[in-house]
Amino acid sequence: MYSSIVKRSGCSFSSMKGSAPSFHLSGLYRKSGKTGRYAYHSVSEEERPRGRQSYNKLEASSREEVIDMESTILNQEEVESYGERGYLLHKKPLFSAEKMRTLTDIFEEQLAMKGSKLSDELDTPHFRDERLLDFLLSDEVLDLVEPIIGPNIGLWSSHFICKDPYVGRATPWHEDSAYWKGRLSSFDKIVTVWLAIDRSSKENGCMRVLPGTHGNGFSDYEAIDGTKNTFSTQIKNVDESKAVYFELEPGECSLHDSRIIHGAAANRSEFRRCGYTMRYFSTEAVVYPDKNPGFKIWLARGRNIGGSHFVNE
């Protein structure tokens, strides 16, 4: 896990507190013998971070800039808590109010296109609407994800999830990784950012998780009624008394490991519950092209370690 972030010009690179960066970017930051702090040095073209934004302004320079190693979105306690429990509640606005309004408008457009047949899940909307890449590849999100999975980040997927008042179906207990078997080489560094568009509460069927279950391996599943649930299978023998509920205000988000057991009750309230899930993986994992036909992934930040095919490379 990563406990602090080194930043410059909107880019970030993780390191363990009090030590050199744990990944090989020796041309970027070097520790000063006088101050014990990290300073910026020249950057080669191949070392520039990738993403939606242009980083042409990050030009090579002999000038050094001292970086405040204490500046980070997540503190060490939060990162360690995520490692232990498999989730984290980020009870702060992820985007500015203006940017959040733009995202909400995009969501409402996508929802309107579905017509009267509202789906619980609008899958990979960024395939159809590239405006969403301004959010998915933004520093606001990537700076939150990087302390969890490291500096080399791929965009795996995104979904708009919406539970209508009174009719929203239950989401059975499941692990995200169970539905991705065979598509990636590993699942230990995949994180989902669940951003609340509407208020999310117990009343309208907010997400709930079983803490610590991300270390259990794949669970056993059983068949259930697919007309009342978003899936036709669920994990067997779940102790719901141990569940933690993710209650969020609009604009707040949660993070969870792809292997953690989670689900949500049906929405029986008068209030809609919608959110946007943004999923990221460490590029150490390999995404198998023959198991993902037509599926697109983006290199969001850092380097392509595993050699997967990214559409923006």
Average pLDDT of adjacent 10-residue blocks, the chain of 313 residues = 38 37 32 34 42 37 33 84 97 97 96 66 91 98 96 97 86 86 93 98 96 85 82 85 97 95 92 96 98 97 98 96
pLDDT of residue 120: 57
pLDDT of residue 305: 98
Encode pLDDT of 85-127 as tens digits.
999 999 999 999 999 999 999 999 998 887 645 555 689 999 9
pLDDT of residue 178: 78
| Domain chopping of the chain, boundaries | 1-72, 76-301
Written as six digits, the tokens of 249 are: 């205000």
| Rg of the chain (C-alpha set) | 20
Q: Is the pTM of this model over 0.85?
A: no
CATH class of 76-301: mainly beta
Is there a contact between 154 and 50 (Cβ–Cβ < 8 Å)?
A: no
Encode pLDDT of 190-216 as tens digits.
999 999 999 999 999 999 999 999 988
